[in-house]
Amino acid sequence: MIVNPTKVCDLESHRAEVTAELARYGWDEPLWLETTAEDPGVGMARQAVSEGVDLVFASGGDGTVRACVEGLMGTDVPMAILCVGTGNLFARNLNLPGTLPEGIRTGVEGKTREIDVGVIDGRPFVVMAGIGLDASMAHSTSDDAKRRVGWLAYVGGLVKHLRDRPFQVTLSLDGRTTLRRRAMMVLIGNVGRLQGGLRLLPDAQPDDGQLDILILAPRTPMDWLRVVGHVVTRSKRYDRRAERYTAARLRVEVDPPVLYECDGDPIGYGTTMSIETSPKALLLRAPRETEG
């Protein structure tokens, strides 16, 4: 059990509830590992694998899940998720249960799915990587605001950056197609749904061996309205302000340097990014009655 203690109100009660639920299925008290500011879960996941565990539960938000995925990808140890964070986007995209009892049940009795993992400059992601507006929005949204108002906290961060200057971007898709755009944001998704149920990438699937790409390039307030309409209606009509593509790997070059993020965590400014999918790199427990 890999737990982010900052996401749990009462750690001892959480541990007692987890242990009691596992006991209902005949499981012993789990190996209990807590994340730290220095290690959000990567080292704990690797330690769990080295100790020969049968299953790793990630108990935290998307940051904890991402770190555990980094430690588990490519191994034969499956992961289950206990949702205790504010976003839980990966779990929601795969229709995983949100309560602790159902999360434990899914881990113990669920089916095992093979899930793709995206990788941006060597850093794994399971939800999305974003360049430009998306990363700036995440950077401007505090953890305290997310705890208080949930996903609505991102609205303030978004509004703050709507007037940011666009950047020049060149994308090479699978080494065959080259696109040059003046954009506000490039989003690369392993799954397609964001906060509030908004589907920015309606065709994204976590096990199709492809990454879905959205290029947002509005220039005027009217363009922004059209982008919103395009996204909300999940339109598949071509629109130069909101272009969608798919690729297994891509190279991104931007000018000037732009902030980018990985599963909601800003990871710095860059001018070039290499992004690819690692097909079926993660074993994930999911409810048997739901395909996700």
Q: State residue 175's pLDDT score.
A: 94
Residue 292 lies in a domain: no
Looking at the structure, tell me whether residues 148 and 245 fall in a common domain.
Answer: yes
Express each pLDDT in 178-230 by its tens digit.
999 999 999 999 999 887 677 889 899 999 999 999 999 887 777 777 777 76
Mean pLDDT by groups of 10 residues along the chain of 292 residues: 94 97 96 97 98 96 95 97 86 94 97 98 95 78 60 55 82 96 95 81 95 90 72 69 94 96 91 97 89 46
Output Rg (C-alpha) for the chain, integer angstroms: 19
Q: State residue 131's pLDDT score.
A: 95
Looking at the structure, tell me whether residues 260 and 153 fall in a common domain.
Answer: yes
Looking at the structure, tell me whether residues 254 and 136 fall in a common domain.
Answer: yes
The CATH number of residue 133's host domain is: 2.60.200.40
Q: State residue 218's pLDDT score.
A: 82
Looking at the structure, tell me whether residues 9 and 88 fall in a common domain.
Answer: yes
pTM of the model: 0.88
Residue 81 lies in a domain: yes
**Angle separating helix axes 133-140 and 153-160, nearest 10 degrees:** 120
Domains in the chain: how many in total?
A: 2
Looking at the structure, tell me whether residues 132 and 62 fall in a common domain.
Answer: no
Provide the domain limits for residue 180. 123-279
Looking at the structure, tell me whether residues 132 and 273 fall in a common domain.
Answer: yes
| Backbone torsions φ then ψ of 122, nearest 5 degrees | 85, -5
Q: Which residues pair with residue 216 across a beta bridge?
A: 185, 242
Q: Which residues contact 152 (CB under 8 A, 6 or more apart)?
A: 196
Q: How far apart are CA 27 and CA 15, in angstroms?
A: 14
Residue 245 lies in a domain: yes
